[in-house]
Structure 1
């Protein structure tokens, strides 16, 4: 069995190339394995509504639910009950996330202009209802509530429903700060189904966002089309891009901050300095041994991080700064921490990343909790084309077109020529019926 250190591969070796190819395919999921079971859950919830949701909550979450949709969830009281330091942290995070996304909203405005008798517009409208999934398995994540619900609220969504198996005081307090309308007291694929199809008490939403386990991911994939979704979230991942200016203890700490999320998480180091790779690997083993066995609720923490390092803890050593940028762009990792000389310059060359953490004093953990941008990011290489969750995920866009009579007359010949070149005579006649006298159309 692999020990609790990083596997180190050097550029130019067959092992390096195999590892790079393996990591490039990490987004291939095993959703097909659970899809039959998830389809059955979706079918039963669609047909039976609340009764099926309650049955699956009892089966998978080992609890009974008396009220699936909770509007009066006691968020203000939950916030007041928290320890002062946690309450302050939640309030600070909510304010910073709101500030960032209000600035982002400024880039999502409607516009309209007129030229030559044609009025054109892009209309941006908030979604009416959204469902947010907040996981509650290996850890408690009030941060995920803030990072998903605050952008929705800033976008102007009318009703925000948050589904989670975790209704702890921390989660309810975060819901209150974020402006969540109501809680859906269920998790798993059954919660996704309730939000997508609607039940007697759970309203059907327009979009479902937020990370979850493989069953949640499979359910989101299957309901896409019935509703919109943000993305299919995979295991958390971090790539620390470093040179000889980096501190191996700091690099190791950043790697473990993601390893403790999930046994399948990817803690990755990319460096030009083999000595740093070896020192970081040793630091990872030391720091793993010092992690607590469990969190405050008795859930395992060290074992999760250990397994992540054993499965997916790698260090790739390359020959140049150019290779740092090339490999980082090839892998397109969720979190990319740049800890090098002139980190800003190198970060500017890394174009495929969910989020960049630039400089030696920018821990990824700051982005998870307090910085401001949403921590819901593309995983598994999806940063090649995906984007962080944002205000733009909670709006719809409509194009608006209005022609004056003289404007259509001026463009009629071009439109009809296009239509007839494609063999679409009815398109051409729909223009001519407006612009030519009846006899000329015959």
Structure 2
């Protein structure tokens, strides 16, 4: 039997409801793991173990008192430190806001609390969810980056410190750390989750998301955030999903191992009898990565100008460069980038005409060595620009044992179908 901290959120909830364990036992297991590993991994910005245990013990008593259990009753979770909490500081990864204490919880945090989930702490983010890394190391090899900007969230889930974590994405801040740390992540269709109480960087690109170790947990988290009942998993016994590989305009910029991971995943899925194929990348998609950079820079330069102006020496060179580049983006260039996004979105019906999801790279390769940077967001930028739902799935390792993975892309607004297919794909790849 797996240790309690190694269980999925779904399994933890099931065992608590069945009376096979208690929220305090679950929390104790996670806190023991954190005590053993946090000095090396550095996933947490704020950790209040006493408060977490206090909440867990209070949750122990609720069934005795006849209180209905929420769908996440007793399930621990962690929160990226750009997401407001009313009892923990939210510093946005910046010295400027080191002592910032929000008055209320972000909508996502409150929704999880109302569902019975128990927060462990706030996880490390890059400064303003951009490029300057924090202290977090990759739990698979402490000399390597965990990715960013949801660095601590991905590391905490990967290292069995928490089964669920909130993160966010503007370029690749969910998918890339999930790929580097060997966990799953879900970025919904842009606007799919409420961003109230989440620091903004780029108004048309920012998206709240979730990290976990299984797609079933992503489905559970989505249902809770949307106030929906947990849906049954799709039955693919008779009609298997339709999946197309799309190499994309940057295929040759990734490592050989990354390309091999994608083709091996497609071969494994084809062996199940699924309808698989390959689709060519439209030539205009080659310009979408630069369009995302243009849009993000333009919007960030306006959203975070006050920090740039007042931050002085506390602002990193990376963030200063983002704002300066964004200030130089003309209204015309911004409008042209948005127009390109619109034209590309009009082509998506053709891309998805004969498939449920696209299988694409999730990162250029395994996590790079060093903690001075968080890796290249190259393979998520255009999908984030197009505001499509995405799921990161781990698949295999490189020669050094570091995780590799793939990314599945769904139709805009068809998040439920994407997650159903992703759950099926994860199951098939586990068997491969």
Query: Is TM more than 0.5 here?
Result: no
Bigger Rg, structure 1 or 2: 1
Structure with the greater relative contact order (CA < 8 A, sep ≥ 6): 1 or 2?
1
TM-score by length of 2: 0.27
Question: Which has a greater percent of helix?
Answer: 1
